[in-house]
Amino acid sequence: MSKKIMVHDTTLRDGEQTPGVSLLPEEKLMIAKALDDVGVDVIEAGAAITSPGEQESIKKISGENLRANISSFARIVKDDIDKALWCGVDSVFLVAPTSDLHIKYKLGIDRNELLKRMADAIDYSKEHGLIVDLCAEDGSRTDIEFLEKVLKKATECKIDRFTIADTVGIMTPDKISEIFLHLAQKAKVPLGIHCHDDLGLATANTICAVKSGAAIIDVAVNGLGERAGNTALEEAVMALKLGYGYETGIKTEKILALSELVEKICGIPVPPNKAIVGENAFTHEAGIHVDGILKKAETYEAIKPELVGAKRMFVLGKHVGAKSVKKMLEDQKISVTDEQLKEIFSQIKYMGDKGKRVTSSDLEAIADSVQGIKREKCLKVQELVAVAGNTITPTASVKLSLNGREIVESAVGTGPVDAALKAIKHATKDVPFELVEYHVDSISGGTDALVKVMVKLKSKDRVVTAQGTGSDIVLASVDALVSGLNSLMAKR
């Protein structure tokens, strides 16, 4: 058994079946290019039968001459295969429901008829030069003797790969192992595994399938997919690599950028505590951990952040230790005496105890007050108007003073917040910065809720975080941005 595992990515097919996700052809193409660049072996670009728009997408991706193999989902129906052929794909992910439940209730036929339809569909696909990955839908709930029969018949029809789908996500690692250990003895083609995360076991099941003979893993970036989603590409690839020494063709250092692209285009936010790609995956707050990491990173960091293109981060809060405060002050180029450090530390603990997240701008403000420094703010907003409605383009105008100079600017945006922040960006064009993160949390429940806006700004090698709070989301956003900019511009 070769140790190199093939990665079949279904972000653009099963991933797009995530409730609330629907992608335009250009968006699908952008993701396909990124998947190709990161090194997946097969891109399941969609299901050609779905719609004319879907066909346009798949055709575009097929026409890109990507390194990866391009595949379309197809049922064992001639029309599905014809549509896939029209898109110019290399292969079909040919799906045959194999459980009695599906055969009887979904298709209303019997096992023999299923085998016949499957054989016809494989023959038709092969006659037209397609690579065929036969997927046993609901394979995990299929009677094992019949599954073996399906594999045998499909192999006689010259399929190239055979995938077992745990369509409803009901498998456990030992049951998956049992199925694969059994089939791997008989299989003459590479076996694939397609899992769903309904029990939170998709990654574990995928790994167990590989350990029991599977050579292809079906995955989706950020674990997107029907219901609870598919096996997450980032989790399976990293667990196979670090836990078992299996290699894939994935350039792991590009994983985070891929995840961010998919998050942005699909509009499904990645939870902060998500393995590998979550915002907190390499972020440390607790004093004991930070102290250990500063002495030797491996003490509390089993996965090197660089390995997936991430960066280690330290944040301030109630669990912080004096050493992290010192380190963060140094990062912001603030030097303090031991006495001052003690006072700054206790003020941060106090804020943390009050349930506040302490940003880098807060840290600077605390340091300034402890050191008795009165700093004139470089940037002040004097007037701000932002308007939105259904008959106008969201527009904002701002009058601000920047180092004593008065500047008036305006901008339009996708909404009043976007317009206001863009107007400030225009007005401060001499201060190069990039808004790398923008977060809104509602502190209380109703439409008059207090909102907390967090921003992260990057300028050359500096990164600052800042927040703004209030019941007006536009003003809170502007406050956060302005305090971040002041922190970037402060002369130290």
Between 17 and 477, CB nearer to Mn ion: 17
Question: Distance between CA 172 and CA 201 in Å, rounded?
Answer: 7
Both tokens assigned to 31: 């993701």
> What residues form DSSP beta bridges with 97?
137
Question: Distance between CA 87 and CA 57 in Å, rounded?
Answer: 9
Which one-letter amino acid corresponds to residue 34? A
Between 142 and 428, CB nearer to Mn ion: 142
| Count of residues interacting with Mn ion (CB under 5 A) | 1
CA 137 to chain centroid, in Å, comes to 26
Applying CB under 5 A, which part among 7-15, 40-48, 50-58, 366-374 lies near Mn ion? 7-15
Question: Distance between CA 484 and CA 457 in Å, rounded?
Answer: 7
CA distances from 453 to 20, 377, 411, 414, 442 (A): 25, 20, 21, 18, 9
Q: Report the candidate in 226, 225, 224, 256 with the shortest Cα–Cα distance to residue 238.
A: 256
Q: Give the CA-trace dihedral at 341, 342, 347, 352, to 10 degrees.
A: 100
Supply the minimum distance, in Å, between the C-beta of residue 241 and Mn ion. Answer: 24
Applying CB under 5 A, which part among 10-18, 52-60, 92-100, 319-327 lies near Mn ion? 10-18
Between 72 and 467, CB nearer to Mn ion: 72
What is Dmax (Cα atoms) for the chain? 85
Supply the minimum distance, in Å, between the C-beta of residue 165 and Mn ion. Answer: 6
Going across the sheet that includes 462-470, the strands are 434-442, 451-459, 462-470
Supply the minimum distance, in Å, between the C-beta of residue 167 and Mn ion. Answer: 6
Between 14 and 54, CB nearer to Mn ion: 14
Supply the minimum distance, in Å, between the C-beta of residue 323 and Mn ion. Answer: 47
Supply the minimum distance, in Å, between the C-beta of residue 425 and Mn ion. Answer: 42
Q: Give the CA-trace dihedral at 239, 31, 263, 413, to 10 degrees.
A: 160
- Considering only residues 14, 54, 362, 418, which one is a binding residue for Mn ion as defined by CB under 5 A? 14
In this structure, are strands 379-387 and 216-219 parallel, antiparallel, or unpaired? unpaired
C-alpha Rg value of the chain to the nearest Å: 27
Supply the minimum distance, in Å, between the C-beta of residue 421 and Mn ion. Answer: 39
Applying CB under 5 A, which part among 9-17, 126-134, 371-379, 464-472 lies near Mn ion? 9-17
Applying CB under 5 A, which part among 14-22, 137-145, 404-412, 458-466 lies near Mn ion? 14-22
- Which of helix, strand or coil describes residue 272? coil
Question: Distance between CA 483 and CA 79 in Å, rounded?
Answer: 59
Between 228 and 431, CB nearer to Mn ion: 228
Cβ contact 28:45 at 8 Å: yes
Between 36 and 197, CB nearer to Mn ion: 197
Both tokens assigned to 380: 């002040």
- Which of helix, strand or coil describes residue 87? coil
Q: Which residue is nearest to Mn ion (CB)?
A: 14
Which residues, 6+ apart, have CB-to-CB distance to 223 below 8 Å?
197, 202, 229, 230, 231, 232, 235, 274
Between 73 and 180, CB nearer to Mn ion: 73
Applying CB under 5 A, which part among 12-20, 205-213, 305-313, 475-483 lies near Mn ion? 12-20
Supply the minimum distance, in Å, between the C-beta of residue 135 and Mn ion. Answer: 9
Between 14 and 44, CB nearer to Mn ion: 14
Supply the minimum distance, in Å, between the C-beta of residue 350 and Mn ion. Answer: 50
First and final C-alpha spacing in the chain: 60
Between 163 and 483, CB nearer to Mn ion: 163
* Helix-helix angle 322-331:287-295, to 10 degrees: 60
Between 73 and 282, CB nearer to Mn ion: 73
- Which of helix, strand or coil describes residue 72? strand
Q: Does 44 bind Mn ion (CB under 5 A)?
A: no
Applying CB under 5 A, which part among 8-16, 48-56, 83-91, 441-449 lies near Mn ion? 8-16
String marking each residue 231-260 x if it binds Mn ion according to CB under 5 A: ------------------------------
Supply the minimum distance, in Å, between the C-beta of residue 14 and Mn ion. Answer: 4
Range 371-400, binding Mn ion (CB under 5 A): none
Supply the minimum distance, in Å, between the C-beta of residue 68 and Mn ion. Answer: 19
Supply the minimum distance, in Å, between the C-beta of residue 226 and Mn ion. Answer: 5
Applying CB under 5 A, which part among 11-19, 39-47, 319-327, 407-415 lies near Mn ion? 11-19
Residues that bind Mn ion (CB under 5 A): 14
